Amino acid sequence: MAQQFIFQMQGLTKAFPGGKKVFENIWLSFYSDAKIGVVGVNGSGKSTLLKIMAGLDKEFSGEAKAAEGTKMGYLEQEPHLDPALNVDDNVIAWEEV
Ligand SMILES: Nc1ncnc2c1ncn2[C@@H]1O[C@H](COP(=O)(O)OP(=O)(O)O)[C@@H](O)[C@H]1O
Ligand SMILES: [Mg+2]
């Protein structure tokens, strides 16, 4: 049987209020065991894309959907760390967004 995608974007377009279009018509599909890096210069839209994938930013057009039953986690670039936890536990604490 063909492997199921764990996340799919179809025609994903993001423009901020004021008109700045960060990306347009992105089509991507991810396999569940893939390790994927998003590479781009500062301001190219990496964090914006990840926030959409994590479900934190719902203001976009097109489709961006995780497979049913998938848990999404998002570790911010500048996270508020809990000093009582070690690195592993801090990451785990951010798993559920
Ligand atoms: N809340 C926002 N309102 C308006 N513009 C934003 C907002 N967040 C990010 N941007 C703009 O969108 C572009 C992409 O930002 P970002 O996703 O943070 O880039 P990256 O993570 O690749 O450095 C940048 O030009 C940034 O200024
Ligand atoms: Mg960023």
pLDDT tens string for the chain (97 positions)?
567 899 999 999 999 999 899 999 999 999 999 999 999 999 999 999 999 999 999 999 999 999 999 988 888 888 888 999 999 998 888 765 4
DSSP state of 76: -
81 located within any domain? no
The residue whose CB lies within 8 Å of the most ligand 1 atoms, and thus the one to mutate among 41, 42, 48, is 48
**Can you give the pLDDT at residue 2?**
65
Nearest CA to ligand 1 atom 16: 45
The pLDDT score that the predictor gives to residue 64 is: 97
Do the Cβ atoms of 94 and 74 come closer than 8 Å? yes
Beta bridge partners of 66: 7
Residue 52 lies in a domain: yes
At 1 the pLDDT is 56
Is residue 77 within 6 Å of ligand 1 at its C-beta?
A: no
Q: Which amino acid is at 5?
A: F
Residues in Cβ contact with 82 at an 8 Å cutoff, skipping those fewer than 6 apart: 89, 90, 93
Answer yes or no: is the C-beta of 48 below 6 A from any ligand 1 atom: yes
Range of the domain at 13: 5-71
The tally of domains found in the chain comes to 1
